[in-house]
Amino acid sequence: MNYNIRGENLEVTPALRDYVEKKVGKLERYFDTTPIADVNVRMQVLNNQHIIEITIPMPQLLLRGEDVHIDMYAAIDKVVEKLERQIRKHKTKVNRKFRQEGSLKYMFKNELEPLELEDEVAVPEDELEVVRKKRFNLKPMDAEEAILQMDMLGHNFFVFSDAVDGATSVVYKRKDGKYGLIESEA
């Protein structure tokens, strides 16, 4: 794996770099062959909070984890645990659903134990059900008006029709307090 480690408001020391590579490198044990992937690591310090974000884009699978802690090394440990849970979850889902050749199943090792959810509530995929439906007309507006509507309603996201091209778009509130925009491709 190729590591791209960046620090914002933080100097990435060789010890910190080695620790990240050692911890993330342990994820290789979950795969039959060492994945050829770029590991993008962004470390940041804001108000005595250490934020780490790790993204590993792979064919047919995107692993991403983010964590905030007062200690960077503890944040690294926690985000690697999140990535391990994601891998186990994908492996369990793959074994349950996709039994054919060429699926993601052949990316993972067979002796991987299934995911045991301790902190999270396990919901079998057969029991996933929609418990509420909403229907509404999408009012044409721009992103700024959609953000104002979202804030006024107290929601974390807002779906709207773009006034310029009529495409369905979504604005959402990010963890850092800023806003994001999701646009559909034509």
Residue 98 above 90 pLDDT? no
Kindly tell me if the per-residue pLDDT of 171 is higher than 90.
yes
Record the tokens describing residue 163, joined without a space: 């006034």
State the span(s) of the chain assigned CATH 3.30.160.100: 2-127
**Is a pLDDT exceeding 90 seen at residue 38?**
no
CATH of domain 140-183: 3.30.505.50
Task: Select 2-127's CATH number: 3.40.50.11750, 3.40.50.150, 3.30.160.100, 1.10.540.10.
Answer: 3.30.160.100
Residue 150 has what pLDDT? 82
- What whole-number distance in Å separates Cα of residue 100 and Cα of residue 147? 44
Question: Tell me: the pLDDT tens digits for 48-59?
Answer: 899 999 988 877
In total, the chain counts a number of residues equal to 186
pLDDT band, very low/low/confident/very high, at 109 (cuts 50, 70, 90): low
DSSP assignment of 57-97 equals EETTEEEEEEEEESSHHHHHHHHHHHHHHHHHHHHHHHHHH
Whether the per-residue pLDDT at 107 is higher than 50: the answer is yes
Beta 140-141 vs 61-69: how paired, if at all?
unpaired
Backbone angles phi, psi at 15, to 5 degrees: -65, -40
- The three-point CA angle 67-92-113 to 5° equals 85
Q: Residue 31: name the closest of 60, 10, 74 by CA.
A: 60
| Rounded mean pLDDT, 147-175 | 86
pLDDT value of residue 114:
52
The pair of structure tokens assigned to 39 is 């590991």
What are the start and end residues of each CATH 3.30.505.50 domain in the chain? 140-183
Q: Is 41 or 35 the better-scoring residue by pLDDT?
A: 41
Max CA separation in the chain (angstroms): 55
